[in-house]
């Protein structure tokens, strides 16, 4: 499998693991952020938001969201190396 196909497959897996309430329309918002070149700052902002919530009570779902957005950043870094 080519690097481009592998990257596309990884992106689809990452999106599949995201919240279902964003998957109701023809275009997923995360695809717009990705195509528009603003996914990196969006993901960083989400990580900060969910990490900030951890100050008082540790939430496993919020920790999972931090990991999910960190995986998106990792995907972007890998895309840049191809």
Q: What is the pTM of this model?
A: 0.72
Q: Which pLDDT score, from 0 to 100, does residue 26 have?
A: 76
Residue 63's domain comprises: 3-81
Q: Distances in Å between the alpha carbon of 28 and those of 22, 52, 75? A: 6, 26, 17
Rg for the chain, CA atoms, rounded: 14
Residues 38 and 9 sit within 8 Å (Cβ to Cβ): no
Split into its structural domains, the chain has a count of: 1
Q: Average pLDDT in the 37-65 region? A: 96
Q: Average pLDDT in the 43-72 region? A: 95
Q: Average pLDDT in the 59-71 region? A: 95
Q: Which pLDDT score, from 0 to 100, does residue 1 have?
A: 47
């Amino acid at each position: 499998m080519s690097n481009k196909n592998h990257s596309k497959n990884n992106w689809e897996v990452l999106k599949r693991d995201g919240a279902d309430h964003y998957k109701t329309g023809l275009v997923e918002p995360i695809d717009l952020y990705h195509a528009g070149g603003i996914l990196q700052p969006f993901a960083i902002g989400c990580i900060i938001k969910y990490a900030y919530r951890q100050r008082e009570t540790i939430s496993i779902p919020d920790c999972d969201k931090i990991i999910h957005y960190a995986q998106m950043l990792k995907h972007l870094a890998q895309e840049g190396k191809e």
